[in-house]
Amino acid sequence: MIIAKFLHILGFTVWVGGMFFAHNALRPVVAVTLEPPQRLTLLSGVFTKFFLWVWISIALVFASGMAMMAGMGKPPMHVMLMFVLGVIMMLIFAHIFFAPYRRLKRAVAAQDWKTGGAAMATIRKLVAINLVIGLLTIAIGALGPLAL
């Protein structure tokens, strides 16, 4: 159980921490310092690297979460809430990856900066939503039954 808990914490730390960094530190700086061709090329490259880590994090969080829940019998309400929120986050990420991120990569390859900017705006909004859900999920996990 301790290994599952460690992998769970590692997975959500990489995922939520990466979103926090990208949304609140990286993107605001590149938005005011780089022109669209450089900004979108950079962000597309960063996402290529980061999204691999997100897929790994999702696998760790989901597998370790299921393992820990299996050992609980009937999981308490706060654990079920974390599970539901985690699945929502995974679905939002899958949408980001398979829709706006793909549009961003195609736009950068075609040097279509207007389409790339629109895709990036969608990614930014969805990452903000996932970040809020992720921080809420961490709070629920940290507070346990007190969260409800």
The pair of structure tokens assigned to 140 is 């629920």
pLDDT recorded at residue 80 = 97
Whether 71 contacts 1, CB under 8 Å: yes
pLDDT 10s digits, 36-86: 999 999 999 999 999 999 999 999 999 999 999 999 989 999 999 999 999
Separation between Cα atoms, residue 34 and residue 29, nearest integer Å? 8
Domain limits for position 30: 2-147
Instruction: Give the count of domains, the chain.
Output: 1
pLDDT 10s digits, 89-118: 999 999 999 999 999 999 999 999 999 999
pLDDT recorded at residue 146 = 86
Separation between Cα atoms, residue 14 and residue 40, nearest integer Å? 23
Separation between Cα atoms, residue 98 and residue 96, nearest integer Å? 6
pLDDT interval class at 145 (50, 70, 90) = confident
CB atoms within 10 A of CB 120: 25
pLDDT interval class at 147 (50, 70, 90) = confident
Q: What angle do CA 90, 126, 45 make, to 5 degrees?
A: 85
pLDDT 10s digits, 117-144: 999 999 999 999 999 999 999 999 999 9
- pTM of the model as a whole: 0.95
